[in-house]
Amino acid sequence: MNPDFIVLAAGKGQRMLGATPKVLLPLAGKPMAQHLLDTVAEIKGSRQIIVIGNQAKEVKKKLTAPKNTIWIKQRKQLGTGHAAKTAILGTRSNSVVVVLYGDVPLVRSKTIKNLIKMASMDSLAVLTFIKGNPKGYGRIIRGPRNQVEAIIEEKDATQEQRKIKEVNSGILAIKSKYLKKLLPQIKNKNVAKEYYLTDIVSLAKGSGIKVKALLLENSDEVLGANTPMELQELERNCQKNIATRLVESGVGVADILRIDVRGSLEAGKGSFIDVNNVFEGKVVLGKKVNIGPNCYLKDSTVGSGTILLANTFVEDSSVGEDCTIGPFTRLRGGTELDNSSELGNFVEVNRSKVGKDSKAKHLTYLGDATLGQEVNIGAGTITCNFDGEKKHKTKIADKVFIGSNSSIVAPVSLGKKSYTGAGSVITKNVPAENLAIGRARQNNMKGKGKK
């Protein structure tokens, strides 16, 4: 039985104190609701019906969903029951319908599958959890045999009912044929004059449909965000979940509370991530990669066995296997490092290629440069690639040795096994196996030092 997912994403989120629709607020580098949509997309045979309202065009533009997704605009926000009513026509006749919320993004696919299984046995399945301070949540009312009898909203609960700790997450599952029968029966006879989807519990009981509760062991799955501080809590829980999954996959993480993934991170077994690292966009780490503290990686790949020392910055770049980078190294602009290359402290490489076994260990800038294999770049070397109007290329062949404090003025090529003397300014091509020295003549002027 294929599942249909009604995702409620129409709210304004006024308590967030900003103009951005709540479901688009960033969570781990993605819109909040995107996490939920990605989880749902993993479930076989699923179809999404997304209810949008506030800034509907912007929400639809920013969220990514499968091609078979149905988008429905809720013109008036009259409660969760009303939102579900607007979406019910998009459900399939033989499906199990799961109602989810765009601002409750961390629910796991395993939990959703268990809820679907429960609902497929002709039951209304509701997801519940224990809340130490249940204020604001709908209370789960159970009967003599511990069966779920009703869900009472905070506004309508008695003093005795408000003491109940088991509360409603809002997430439920039921066969579409039952949902289509029960939704029209929901009325707005309550304090808020809204159509509560929770009323479906008592309606189901009255129609002879069993109501079953799936009680969560970890209530963090159903954390939502209605205020900026709640969004902060949600972010930290999301990051903790990501780090936990890394550890469970065989990746070492120094502290699961001190890692930030703002996009997607894949890491091979045996890799290690130290504290205070930030990963943005799509980052892929090979096996046995070691990331030191305080590193930043964005939209990059790092090959197996590579070491990134502290405070290394890698953006839009590709690092080969068994490299050593850092500390305080910066790669950007599509830079490519071949296997076993080394870049040391205060080295910046931009739009360049560094060949196998090549090294630049100290205080170097390589821009628009191509380095062959086994090149050695001395400390203080820079490629002067910009003439004020255009960027120019520097080509350095295999086994070239660049003396310390050299300035390589592009466009220029250095042939295989050529050398430059320390402190040289190289403005012309250097043939293979030549030594190039480009220094001003030294004059020692007697007695002038005192003046």
Q: Which residues, including other chains, have CB under 8 Å from residue 19's CB and lie 6 or more apart?
A: none
Q: In this structure, what token pair is assigned to residue 400?
A: 């070239």
Q: Which residues, including other chains, have CB under 8 Å from residue 342's CB and lie 6 or more apart?
A: 323, 324, 325, 358, 359, 360, 361
Measured CA to CA in angstroms, residue 316 lies from 109, 259, 262, 311, 386 at distances of 31, 20, 15, 17, 21
Per annotation, catalytic residue among 35, 82, 362, 392: 362
In total, the chain counts a number of residues equal to 451
Helix (H, G, I), strand (E, B) or coil at 301: strand
- Closest to 321 (Cα-Cα) out of 335, 331, 336: 336
Q: Which residues of 420-442 are buried (b: 16+ CB within 10 A; e: fewer)?
A: bbebbbbeeebeeeeebebeeee
Question: What share of residues in the chain are helix, strand, coil (percent, to 5)?
Answer: 20, 35, 45
Burial class (CB in 10 A: 0-12, 13-18, 19+), 447: exposed
Instruction: Based on the residue annotation, tell me whether 392 is a catalytic residue of this protein.
Output: no
Residue written as token pair 């060949």: 355
Q: Are 168 and 128 in contact (CB under 8 A)?
A: yes
Measured CA to CA in angstroms, residue 87 lies from 33, 74, 177, 219 at distances of 17, 9, 14, 27
- Closest to 211 (Cα-Cα) out of 91, 321, 124, 307: 124
Helix (H, G, I), strand (E, B) or coil at 384: strand
Give the number of other CB atoms < 10 A from CB of residue 123. Answer: 17
Q: What is the number of helices (H) and of strands (E) in the chain?
A: 7, 37
Q: Are 383 and 366 in contact (CB under 8 A)?
A: yes
Alpha carbon distance 218, 426 (integer Å): 65
| Active site residues per annotation | 362
